[in-house]
Amino acid sequence: MSANKNTQTERRIIYLVLLVAVALPLIFPIGWKTEVSSYTKMAWELIENTPDSSVVLFSFDYDPSTITEIQPMAEAMLEHSFSRNQKIIAVALWPQGVQMADQAFTVALKKYPEKKYGVDYVNLGYKVAGIVAIQAMGKSMQEVFPSDQSGTKYENIPMLKKVKTLKDVAYICSLSSGTPGIKEWVMAARDPLGTPVTGGTTAVSAPGLLPYVNSQKQLYGLLGGLKAASEYETLINKIGSATIKMDAQSIAHLLILVFIIIGNIKAFYSRKRGAQ
Amino acid sequence: MSGFMTTFGLWLSVFFTLSIFSFLYKDNPFYKLSEQIFVGLSAAYWLVYLYYSVMVPNLFNKLFTDFKGNLILLIPTALGLMMLLRLIPKAQWLSRYPIAIMIGTSAGINMVRYAKTDLLGQISATMINPFASDNVITVIGNILLIVGTICGVYFFYFSKKQEGIRAVPSKLGIWFLMISFGASFGYTVMARISLLIGRLEFLLKDWLHIIK
Amino acid sequence: MKYKIPLVFAFVCGILVVISEFIPHRPFNMLITTLQDWFMIISGFAILLGQISLFQANIKKIKEKNKDWPFYLAGLISFTVMLIFGLLWGTQEYRGIFGQGEKIQATVGMKPFDYLFANAFMPLSSTMFSLLAFFIASAAYRAFIIRSFESNLLMITAVIVMLGRTSFGGMLTSWLPEGLKFLHLPNLSDFIMEFPNSAAQRAILISAALGIIGSSLRIILGIERSYLGGEK
């Protein structure tokens, strides 16, 4: 009973220390710089090197639970794409992705207010069935999205005049926090159709998706977690929300390492006591 | 009125945030209430977007605007309604038809897609010349990539007992998997902390105005 | 008939998808396009089924006055309110039965559905998942213990990656000379992710793919039929 109580107290102390450790750098920022990794650079290069006026597709495959990690990526990548004069089609394989897309566009459009709906960007909304929907887009975009969210017919949207299937988009950028997401876009768009796919994901999902960034170019780079989002912001010279949060992230990582060390010292001594 | 609603909305967000955090102390009615409200809102959200984004444009609009031209859509509609019969015990068997169509189609798609992307694609990506790079570190990395993949697959090959010399690649495979799990743990820590940062930022910035 | 015809359906649909992959011409491409459209519509009904089931389960708990029934009632009310708001006044993008609801928008500041999304759903969803940060910190303290060579490997990798993925980690080893730059923590972390991690994850992908292909084949051929339930 007493051991149980001790464990509970220990746990609460850990929670409290973590809370304070994350809050302090948010209140008193340190301003540590972030180094850019090759995976982020690769994704940036794909957007950077795609010609002007190309039609590109952004898929919002996440929900508010991962907004802290993915929303900064979405905003930075949308801004980058707008800066290259690319025309953006937004879709969502998660229903909540629709609202996430709206929020990301609101931020990006503040910097590029001249961009016109229907001409420079369009939001086609959510579609159910994940990989099947992507397969269907590979055959006919219009069949899957007969109209945009406001009810305008697909054929009446100026920037979609030449986009019949996914083959007609220059690249696909999936911002995903699970299934359906990047993996499904690689499977149903990159591999059968050859359309380049890049994207951003949560740090949890990143290790499992990295094998797709390979010599076959199944995935052109990958943004994994808040650190990658801040790297992307660095690449487009933006001090965005990810960069600001990186100090807190760094301190929290250090704290977790301290927890691991203390835990091991404690385990070492209890083993020693047990042996005696 | 709009100003009041904005403030009320903010306090509602704060209430729900703190209610969920209260679980860290112990399970309590505030947490339970928030949990159930979350489930309810989430389910309704799905339903509303399903209706507006899928059912209206892909079914109802097509049927209402050109019924004759889209007669074929009555088949998936009927199948969909049969799916709902799963709720009625006596007619439950009828739901097997749409389920079979969905499962069969998914199985076909999975078979083809996984064979191309995860089997052939990944094997092709492993068939590289490890010495193609001038950089020694990349050469070492490429060798590790090839050895690690082969040993990892070998570890998952359970059909033969792995003893003696046969156990060596399997052991190596486990080491690679351990490294990968360690990396995954590091990344998971990063992800979870990020989410906490997001919520604390909301409390400190939007609610308490401590940070700008 | 109640059992065999669905198996035939599964077989035909599965085979059709496979054939259309290798012969992407008429009539297979037409058939597969139609099948995919149907799939999306049936999926819509499947989600509806899930939501009705949830509704029924909650009603049952309330009727039977289960422990915590008032909370289930709250869940049901929130479901109904959000659904009604969504259908009556629509969402930010869609018109509802009452159109765009300009009056209510002027009062609330946005559509009621979006108001609930922004002020209830979003904080609930993101806070629920942020709890995991505390649990993982506690797990790091209690369970991340060195016991064997394998656990050592796991621990060392985790430490390098955790440091390498922070701004602090970069600063810690920034003094290293050019010849030892590969030991610079962010570089070391990237190396681990690019090579040993990718190798292990690739092994998992290949092995899982073999499993998925096998089970898909079993479903198409009707050997695996548990998804249909009992043979009644």
pLDDT tens for C47-72 read: 999 999 999 999 999 999 988 899 99
Chain B residues touching residue A27 (CB < 8 angstroms): 204, 210-211
Give the model's confidence band at B107: pLDDT under 50 very low, under 70 low, under 90 confident, else very high.
very high
- In angstroms, the separation between the Cα of residue A19 and the nearest Cα of chain B is 8
State whether C191 and B99 contact (CB < 8 Å): no
Give the model's confidence band at C147: pLDDT under 50 very low, under 70 low, under 90 confident, else very high.
confident
pLDDT tens for B113-149 read: 999 999 999 999 999 999 999 899 999 999 999 999 9
Provide the residue-wise pLDDT of chain A in tens; the chain has 276 residues: 567 778 888 899 999 999 999 999 999 998 888 889 999 999 999 999 999 999 999 999 999 999 999 999 999 999 999 999 999 999 999 999 999 999 999 999 999 999 999 999 999 999 988 899 999 999 999 999 999 988 899 999 999 999 999 999 999 999 999 999 999 999 999 999 999 999 999 999 999 999 999 999 999 999 999 999 999 999 999 888 898 899 999 999 999 999 999 999 999 998 888 887
State whether A14 and C167 contact (CB < 8 Å): no
Here the tokens at position C102 are 């300009």
ipTM at complex level: 0.91
Chain A residues touching residue C198 (CB < 8 angstroms): 210-211, 214
Q: Would you list the DSSP string of chain A?
A: -HHHHHHHHHHHHHHHHHHHHHHHHHHS------PPPHHHHHHHHHHHHSPTT-EEEEEEE--GGGHHHHHHHHHHHHHHHHHTT-EEEEEESSTTHHHHHHHHHHHHHHH-TT--BTTTEEEEEE-SSTHHHHHHHHH-HHHH-SB-TT--BGGG-GGGTT--SGGGSS-EEEEESSSSSHHHHIIIIIHHH---EEEEE-TTTHHHHGGGSSTT-SSS--EEHHHHHHHHHHHTT---HHHHHHHHHHHHHHHHHHHHHHHHHHHHHHHHHHH-
pLDDT computed for residue C172 by the predictor: 87
**A146 Cβ contact partners less than 8 Å away, ≥ 6 residues apart:** A153, A154, B57, B58, B61, B62
What is the mean pLDDT of the segment spanning B38-43? 95
pLDDT at C232 over 60: no
Any A CB within 8 A of C13 CB: no
pLDDT computed for residue B177 by the predictor: 96
State whether C120 and B199 contact (CB < 8 Å): no
Give the model's confidence band at B1: pLDDT under 50 very low, under 70 low, under 90 confident, else very high.
low
Instruction: State the pairing for strand pair A172-176/A197-201.
Output: parallel
Any B CB within 8 A of A255 CB: no
* Domain definitions of chain C by residue range: 148-231
- In angstroms, the separation between the Cα of residue B20 and the nearest Cα of chain A is 13
Chain A residues touching residue B179 (CB < 8 angstroms): none
State whether B58 and C53 contact (CB < 8 Å): no
What is the mean pLDDT of the segment spanning C80-90? 95
Any C CB within 8 A of B127 CB: no
Give the residues across from A56 on adjacent strands.
A88
pLDDT at B90 over 80: yes
Q: Do residues B30 and B19 touch, judged by C-beta distance below 8 A? A: yes
Give the residues across from C31 on adjacent strands.
none
- Option in A146, A208, A218 nearest B61 (CB): A146
* Element holding B191 (H helix, E strand): helix B167-201
Distance CA A71, CA C28 (A): 40
State whether B36 and C17 contact (CB < 8 Å): no
Kindly report whether the peptide bond that precedes residue C6 is cis, defined as omega within 30 degrees of 0.
Answer: no
* Domain definitions of chain B by residue range: 130-211
- In angstroms, the separation between the Cα of residue B67 and the nearest Cα of chain A is 15
pLDDT computed for residue C174 by the predictor: 87
Q: Do residues C34 and B72 touch, judged by C-beta distance below 8 A? A: yes
What is the mean pLDDT of the segment spanning B27-44? 96
pLDDT computed for residue A150 by the predictor: 84
Any A CB within 8 A of C216 CB: no
Partner A, chain C 173-212, Cβ-Cβ below 8 Å: 186, 190, 193-194, 197-198, 201-202, 204-205
- Give me chain C's average pLDDT, please: 91
pLDDT at C154 over 90: yes
Give the model's confidence band at C165: pLDDT under 50 very low, under 70 low, under 90 confident, else very high.
confident
Any C CB within 8 A of A155 CB: no
Best of B51, B175, B179 to substitute, by most chain C Cβ atoms within 10 angstroms, is: B179
pLDDT computed for residue C230 by the predictor: 66
State whether C133 and B103 contact (CB < 8 Å): no
pLDDT computed for residue C158 by the predictor: 94
pLDDT computed for residue C231 by the predictor: 57
- Option in A96, A218, A252 nearest B121 (CB): A218
A-B Cβ pairs (cutoff 8 Å, strict): 138
Q: Do residues C190 and C200 touch, judged by C-beta distance below 8 A? A: no
- Option in C21, C56, C196 nearest B179 (CB): C196
pLDDT at B104 over 90: yes
